Structure 1
């Protein structure tokens, strides 16, 4: 039994563009598909992919929106020649054939010698990289910049390095998915930012000890201004003015709407400009963020070390899962072995019954009981006297 292929979907950016072109909010589109707005944000950011009936409904709705957008858009002017059609070559003019010379009969005519044709040069075949080589190339290309960007979010050098390494380890675990992604650097960047800004980082002992601030007073003031921003505003400012993403890409990576992202960006700029008026110009702010990240001596581990660390963590998690499963099975078997096989009703609590004297334990008689016994002994018994046998 073979499964039917999944319905193709446009890229995440195209999904968001189609929704905004149709003037639909994420809540409205979620109601039409039958999911939550958070699910729509994850689909448009590329973090998750719809499956099953939800995928069919989502693909059908996007197709309808694309058709409506095509009807509303002005028709392009027809071109004389399509782009994919090869250009016609000019026809060669016919050359006049030379008249054959008259040769005496019986003498064979010489045949013209054929000219050697040039052989086409074969293009070199592309060299296929192994998964480890492709991962190392991606790490060497983007890891140093990601560590500097994450430092702007946290203000901690070691935490920035660890966040990027954890993100690349997650990318190595999901490498087939990351390798086919349109923006693998964005995938790793989003994972590193989420790990760096996690509220659980405050519970770590390392967070209690502050790191030495930057040596330059201007860099120290700018870093303090960034760390005073809310995490969402700080991430939006770093992505837009630090990394250089446009507004829709920033909104997609932060899983927010474009108006909300623009509002966060404006508020973050106002807060930074309120503390540092010289950075009110976005170009100056972009340059200062780059200088602040470049002035710090931030290092990144080697790619093989990151890959081995990710594989080691995966093995530990697998062993922990196996040990937990074994313990659960053993506990279940012990419970089944020692559990009773039939129902034993509990003993009902005692109740007082009227008219029945309470049972007392044997012991010495009380004064009243002794008096009653003596009284019974002194009185004569009813009935004939007993005969005692005598020897004659």
Structure 2
């Protein structure tokens, strides 16, 4: 079996020029091709290239934008005689030199962060909801991801794909297995109102987390297979295997979603029906700063407590070696202890004699020879 040659596409800059010449937005192109807006933006930046049916549809759309209608020929205008005007500037007036335009001021870190948040946060909240089936956890995952991005903003700002960086962080937090031990997440949230939406959400939540994430990135977000594999930190064959198994599981429960285009539409519809609103960018930034200050102070307090405990241990520890006391050994052959009995007459007389002699002071006792 031979593989059909790939349809030629213009360079990335030409793709963007054709779209702008046709007065189309990236969202409109994405809707016509059947992908997401982020995918169209990646195609125009040259970061990725379309493949398969999406490449054919994208090429046909660009071809229609290339074939612009030529203007109909009309009557040629009559030449107009130009007056003899000397294009000189009088010496007593300075020439009007156009002032150079001032370059636009660069964005501050806060402004750049707010722009990234406004562009990515609404879609990320909906994606996190499809991953977890929980509205509060979806909002919390996106907020935590952007708070971490604000803490590492110098690293995120120069990343080749800041939106992908935040998306991967939000997915990791949303799929963390430690959420099951939190009291507020032990009880399920109310399901979607529509029966078809409930069935689709149930199918998604029954998938293993890696399969669910792969399906959402490929059929929901619109990433291609290599990008999905890179974001899920898996090989391309393993990612393709996960995608096939996830699609089979969804098609088994819901046969009408066997078409990837229909599955993409239903995923977008399911996420858009829920009222999932992200917090304002300043709220996220301030929350991240407060969290960073809290953990910094906690680390300082823990360090001080550790130093104090170590100093107290050193102060109260013995300065020389004290051998341990050996455990007692059992001794045998010791006679039993006998209680003292009554004194005999001789012993009683001797005791009286000793008591009487001690009254006036001790006397020298000499042994008597026998």
Quickly name the TM-score band, shorter chain normalised: 0.5 to 0.7
Distance in 2 (CA, whole Å) between partners of 1:253 and 1:235 is 10
Q: 1:202 aligns with which of 162, 175, 180?
A: 180
Equivalent in the alignment of 1:303: 281
Equivalent in the alignment of 2:232: 254
- 2:134 counterpart of 1:161: no
- 2:340 counterpart of 1:365: yes
Equivalent in the alignment of 1:219: 197
Q: 1:328 aligns with which of 297, 302, 306?
A: 306
CA gap of 1:210–1:364, structure 2 versus 1, over 3 A, is same
- CA RMSD, Structure 1 to Structure 2 (Å): 2.8
Report the TM-score, using the length of structure 2 for normalisation: 0.66
How far is the alpha carbon of 1:123 from its aligned partner?
3.9
Runs of 4+ in 1 over 6 A off after TM superposition: none
How far is the alpha carbon of 1:161 from its aligned partner?
0.3
CA gap of 1:348–1:241, structure 2 versus 1, over 3 A, is same
Distance in 1 (CA, whole Å) between partners of 2:195 and 2:242 is 27
Distance in 2 (CA, whole Å) between partners of 1:352 and 1:279 is 83
Distance in 2 (CA, whole Å) between partners of 1:270 and 1:119 is 69
How far is the alpha carbon of 1:366 from its aligned partner?
5.4
Distance in 2 (CA, whole Å) between partners of 1:366 and 1:160 is 91
CA gap of 1:338–1:138, structure 2 versus 1, over 3 A, is same
Mapping for residues 133-144 of structure 1, pairs under 5 Å: 133-144=111-122
Equivalent in the alignment of 2:88: 115
Distance in 2 (CA, whole Å) between partners of 1:206 and 1:196 is 15
How far is the alpha carbon of 1:120 from its aligned partner?
5.7
How far is the alpha carbon of 1:358 from its aligned partner?
4.6
How far is the alpha carbon of 1:121 from its aligned partner?
5.7
- 2:154 counterpart of 1:176: yes
Distance in 2 (CA, whole Å) between partners of 1:231 and 1:145 is 19
Q: 1:280 aligns with which of 253, 258, 279?
A: 258
Equivalent in the alignment of 2:294: 316
CA gap of 1:154–1:360, structure 2 versus 1, over 3 A, is same
Unaligned runs of 5+ in 2: 1-85, 90-94, 351-366
How far is the alpha carbon of 1:365 from its aligned partner?
2.1
- 2:207 counterpart of 1:229: yes
Query: Helix, strand or coil: the match of 2:141?
Result: helix
| Residue correspondences, number | 262
Distance in 2 (CA, whole Å) between partners of 1:232 and 1:311 is 32
Report the TM-score, using the length of structure 1 for normalisation: 0.62
Distance in 2 (CA, whole Å) between partners of 1:335 and 1:360 is 48
Unaligned runs of 5+ in 1: 1-112, 378-384
How far is the alpha carbon of 1:350 from its aligned partner?
4.0
Distance in 2 (CA, whole Å) between partners of 1:359 and 1:264 is 84
Equivalent in the alignment of 1:386: 368
Query: Helix, strand or coil: the match of 1:318?
Result: helix
CA gap of 1:386–1:171, structure 2 versus 1, over 3 A, is same
Equivalent in the alignment of 2:247: 269
